[in-house]
Structure 1
């Protein structure tokens, strides 16, 4: 049986996956499945994939089924730049206004709801689907958010990573490496540990030579952005799952549970 890995073809995940491109034959026991964070959230929960750098809220939705990789995640130094609320009006005026939500990430959706309700005391009207000109604001993530940054179509934009850190004084964890406990069986466990080490190596190689790594990544997953914007983006992203970030993730789950977005705040459980 192959280890099925959910791969997210967004720039934010390039450090995790660039080094595997063109080397798939060296990992014949690994099957990559491309998709958005929301697709991998569903795949983890229904058992169609074994692990992914998925939306962090996924762990809280079925915690007994998963463990977390203890040392790698997707977080930010302050601004994340690729998870943003774009608005026609100041954020304080969004009560009873229409906010369009991306369907790509439940973590970002829940984070936005927590921020708007608990930090700003707002009650917007939410809709899912494609942004329309009659909507007052929209939440975009990943490459779509980075591309929207360059269009300057909205009077206001708000970085959700910055809003959380300014409020809670800890960096937000948008994605965690979530591992289904089904991958801990004897026929997969060796492959799992080998794959995770190769992922750590991939992140390190990206740090050492981001230009070469991005050349490889963008050849497979091009984006409509100037190369300078792409390269500068990684100054905002941090992939270390520190104790501070683990505490931040638990705090996020507590807020989500308080608003009824998840059943309860789970205890974090790690691979080792």
Structure 2
């Protein structure tokens, strides 16, 4: 068994991948599969991907089948900067609205449902569609976009469109961090490829640490080459993200899972989040 590594194709997860030694890992038997979160979620569930970044919601759906690599996540303690609800009306006036949901997401889609249905107590209808801002806003009252799609839409939207950051809304109502993606692996992976899994985990942690140490500056230069944007914009964006997985992050995740279960977005409650530490020891919290 080799390791197939899922790599979410958004800039917000890039710090964990930017400095990894891909050549070494590929020679050791790893294969990297970049895709949007919803595709990686499906591939992990079917066993086509063994380890990598997946939506936190997908972990909640498969918590008995997966473990989480310690000290890694894509989170925010307030604004996330790349998960936006765009609306023709103020959010509190969206009663009976038709809202388009990106087909790229799981965590953010269900986070929006929690925010609107539980926090604002609104009755709205949702429809999942391809993430195209112009099409969504032509046919719906509001739309949800994530990742680079959301960043580009935010830059190009007209002034009369309201924009809401879901990380900021979550923090306002819960005073907890929101974790959008975790680094998970299928349970059988540990038994079959423990040594390689340990090395992959070590490289993720090292890459994250190097990005943080240089304030993401080397990585930002490569992002600017692909997506444009000023250094100030990207520096502020990454400063608003958080890549830890502390007890406080897990408290936020449990609260998210509890609310998702109450709204019947999750079929079963998540009773344990199992973390695999670099020492190879498991603990559940």
Indicate the TM-score class for this superposition, using the shorter chain for normalisation.
over 0.9
Query: CA 1:162 to 1:132, structure 2 compared with 1: closer, same or farther past 3 Å?
Result: closer
Give the CA RMSD over aligned residues. 1.5
TM-score normalised according to structure 1 size: 0.94
Change (3 A) 1:182 1:217: farther
Shift of 1:70: 2.4
Partner in structure 2 of residue 242 of structure 1: 246
User: Within 2, Cα distance between the matches of 1:195 and 1:140?
Assistant: 30
- Tell me the TM-score normalized by structure 2: 0.89
CA 1:218/1:189 → structure 2, altered by over 3 Å: closer, same or farther? Answer: farther
1:195 to 196, 200, 205: 200
Matches within 5 A, 1:89-168: 89-130=89-130, 131-153=136-158, 154-168=160-174
**Whole-angstrom CA distance in 2 between matches of 1:3 and 1:88:** 45
Aligned mates of 1:214, 1:151 — CA distance in 2: 21
Structure 2: give runs of 5+ residues left out of the alignment. Answer: 131-135, 277-281
State the secondary structure of the residue aligned to 1:179.
strand
Partner of 2:267: 263
Q: How does 1:1-272 map to 2 (within 5 A)?
A: 1-20=1-20, 23-27=21-25, 28=27, 29-130=29-130, 131-153=136-158, 154-186=160-192, 188-209=193-214, 210-216=216-222, 222-266=226-270, 267-271=272-276, 272=282
Q: How many positions carry a matched residue from both structures? A: 267
* Aligned 8 A contact 2:77 2:176 in 1: no
Unaligned ranges ≥5, structure 1: none
Indicate if the aligned counterparts of 1:38 and 1:104 stay in contact, CA closer than 8 A.
Answer: yes
User: Are the counterparts in 2 of residues 75 and 238 from structure 1 also a CA contact under 8 Å?
Assistant: yes
Q: CA deviation at 1:18?
A: 0.8
CA distance in 1, matches of 2:22, 2:174: 41
CA distance in 2, matches of 1:228, 1:69: 31
